[in-house]
């Protein structure tokens, strides 16, 4: 990745931040001020991969370094597209600012607790991010000083900016977010098949005559590798059986704490409270440390129930939930897994465990995910002279031979009840 690394010293007076992948990343005064806000600094205390470090000890990188990386990547792409006449020079900083802020809505422990948020409040981190950008006092102080429109920044994250190209740069099959997280997560986990040929992608990415992101035919292999890397990372990291077990366990702990130690979790217990903390400038305190500290305090001060303290002890000592059912299917078509008989069977089995054996709900958790690897309608386009086709229509591409969907069905149970559940299934 020679082309990506800024090995030359940056100019005098220009601030820069050293990144483990790209080297020195220069930042403007405005960008630096946004980065210095408590709301962005908070991302230093939210791990990118939540509890993946239980399996890959090096995976302790944060949302902060990822956000800087996305800013850098989008800057490189934008610079190229400005030179080709597709983006206004004035919007370079706007796109970089949106990139710095695209993940500010992540909950502590990223997707582990986000799962609770989506199930309980039907809100995802992108929606929380747009609310933060429009209401966080620290960010808005900086925006006011520099005349930045918070609505315009949030519209890019929401995918509703007037320029569709800007939305695609941050949210499409080939966006800056994915490019950085594949590189960064691959580096920190050591999962080598997550690596991508980012140099080729960034040096050849362009816009086709319809206004969509595209690459020339000479980059087809780089794009194929990009899709394959995602497929491998989904299985080896993002939905790894053991990592997912710890994330499910973390969600259970959080939900039991919400019941038993609600006062300690205020003001992050309801959606209206969370939105209120954002407006009051207190959101930055809701980080991994906050939850980890409360888990330690629960043990030190003997708070909550025996069950809660047991769960926390198990997590801290790396004893996770166990999968008593684990099935991964690769398919060319969506399997509608959420509505499938398999999902219903898992739900029934869970019902048996909780009703017949009398165990609490959090002791048996179904994990049903269907991942769409290639968005057929919006996948990467390949430019060949005057014609443009989606990579799924590119005759010689191996994308036509790889699965479009990965379906994962699992049932996790608390380690204490594993044997009894196995006995029940045998009977």
Q: Which residues bind other proteins (CB under 8 A)?
A: 149, 151-152, 155, 158-162, 164, 167-168, 171, 210-212, 333-336, 338-339, 372, 375-378
Nearest alpha carbon to residue 226 among 385, 67, 402, 48:
402
Instruction: For the CB of residue 91, give the shortest distance to other proteins in the complex, in Å.
Output: 11
**Cα separation of 95 and 75, whole Å?**
7
User: b or e along 263-282 (b: 16 or more beta carbons within 10 Å of the residue's beta carbon)?
Assistant: ebbeebeeeeebbebbeebe
Nearer of residues 160 and 305 to other proteins, judged by Cβ = 160
Q: Which residue has the tokens 């269907």?
A: 370
CA–CA–CA angle 354, 108, 179 (5° rounding): 110
Closest separation between CB of residue 334 and other proteins, Å?
4
Residue among 278 and 374 whose Cβ is closer to other proteins: 374
Nearest distance from C-beta of residue 257 to other proteins, angstroms: 29
Cβ closest to other proteins, residue 154 vs residue 225: 154
Query: Nearer to other proteins by C-beta: 167 or 186?
Result: 167
The CB density around residue 303, as the number of other CB atoms within 10 Å, is 17
- Going by C-alpha positions, the residue among 96, 53, 323 that lies closest to residue 190 is 53
CB of 232 to other proteins, least distance (A): 21
User: Rounded to the nearest 10 degrees, how much is the dihedral formed by the CA atoms of 113, 111, 284, 286?
Assistant: 20
Contact status, residue 47 vs residue 62, Cβ threshold 8 Å? yes
Instruction: Tell me how far, at minimum, the Cβ of 122 lies from other proteins, in Å.
Output: 9
CB of 285 to other proteins, least distance (A): 29
Q: How far is the CB of 405 from other proteins (least distance, A)?
A: 9
DSSP codes of every residue in 280-318: HT-GGG-SHHHHHHHHHHHHHTT-S-HHHHHHHHHHHTT
Q: In this structure, is the dihedral angle defined by the CA atoms of residues 290, 296, 300 and 306, taken in order, positive or negative? A: positive
Find the shortest distance in angstroms from Cβ 100 to other proteins.
19
> Is the CB of 93 or the CB of 260 nearer to other proteins?
93
- Separation between Cα atoms, residue 376 and residue 399, nearest integer Å: 11
User: At its nearest, how many Å lie between other proteins and the CB of residue 123?
Assistant: 11
Q: Which residues pair with 410 in a beta bridge?
A: 326, 367
Provide, rounded to whole angstroms, the least separation between the CB of residue 74 and other proteins.
17
Q: Which is nearer to other proteins, 159 or 403 (CB)?
A: 159
Side-chain half-sphere CA neighbours of 143 within 13 A: 20
Q: Compute φ and ψ for 383, nearest 5 degrees.
A: -95, 125
The conformation of residue 106, written as its DSSP 8-state character, comes to: P
The residue (of 152 and 255) whose beta carbon lies closer to other proteins is 152
Task: Report d(CA 143, CA 133) in Å as an integer.
Answer: 10
Q: How many CB atoms lie within 10 A of CB 395?
A: 6
Report how far residue 184's alpha carbon sits from residue 346's, in angstroms, rounded to the nearest whole number: 34
Which structure tokens are listed for 137? 């006092």
For residues 213 and 176, the answer to whether their CB atoms sit within 8 Å is no
Residue 159 Cβ vs other proteins, minimum distance, rounded to whole Å: 3
Give the whole-angstrom CA distance, residue 25 versus residue 198. Answer: 16
């Amino acid at each position: 990745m020679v082309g990506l690394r800024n090995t030359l010293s940056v100019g005098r007076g220009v601030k820069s931040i050293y990144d483990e992948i790209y080297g020195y990343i220069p930042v403007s005064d405005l960008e630096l001020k946004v980065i210095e806000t408590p709301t962005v600094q908070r991302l230093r205390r939210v791990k990118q991969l939540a509890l993946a470090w239980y399996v890959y000890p090096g995976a302790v990188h944060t949302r902060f370094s990822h956000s800087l990386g996305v800013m850098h990547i989008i800057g490189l792409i934008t610079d190229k597209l400005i030179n080709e006449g597709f983006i206004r020079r004035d919007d370079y900083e706007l796109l970089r600012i949106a990139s710095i802020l695209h993940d500010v809505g992540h909950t502590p422990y990223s997707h582990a607790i986000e799962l609770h948020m989506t199930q309980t409040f039907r809100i995802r981190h992108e929606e929380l991010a747009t609310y933060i950008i429009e209401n966080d006092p620290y960010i808005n102080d900086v925006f006011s000083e520099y005349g930045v429109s918070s609505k315009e920044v949030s519209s890019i994250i929401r995918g509703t900016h007037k320029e569709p190209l800007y939305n695609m740069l941050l949210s499409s099959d080939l966006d800056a977010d994915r490019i950085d997280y594949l590189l960064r997560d691959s580096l920190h986990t050591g999962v080598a098949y997550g690596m991508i040929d980012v140099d080729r992608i960034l040096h050849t990415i362009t816009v086709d005559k319809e206004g969509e992101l595209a690459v020339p035919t000479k980059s087809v292999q780089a794009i194929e590798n990009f899709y394959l890397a995602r497929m491998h990372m989904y299985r080896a990291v993002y939905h790894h059986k053991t990592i997912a077990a710890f994330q499910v366990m973390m969600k259970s702990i959080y939900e039991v704490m919400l019941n038993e130690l609600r006062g300690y979790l205020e003001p992050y217990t309801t959606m209206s409270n969370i939105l209120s903390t954002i407006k009051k400038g207190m959101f930055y305190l809701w980080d991994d440390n906050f939850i980890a500290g409360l888990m330690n305090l629960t043990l030190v001060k003997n708070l909550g129930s025996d069950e809660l303290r047991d769960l926390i002890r198990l997590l801290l000592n790396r004893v996770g939930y166990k999968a008593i059912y684990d099935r991964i299917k690769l398919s060319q078509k969506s399997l509608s897994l959420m509505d499938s008989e398999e999902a219903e069977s898992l739900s029934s089995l869970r019902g048996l465990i909780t009703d017949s054996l009398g165990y609490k709900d959090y002791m048996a958790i179904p994990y049903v995910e269907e991942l769409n690897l290639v968005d057929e309608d919006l996948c990467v386009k390949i430019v060949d002279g005057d014609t443009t086709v989606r990579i799924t229509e590119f005759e010689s591409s191996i994308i036509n031979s790889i699965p479009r969907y990965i379906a994962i069905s699992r049932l996790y149970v608390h380690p204490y009840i594993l044997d009894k559940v196995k006995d029940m299934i045998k009977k």
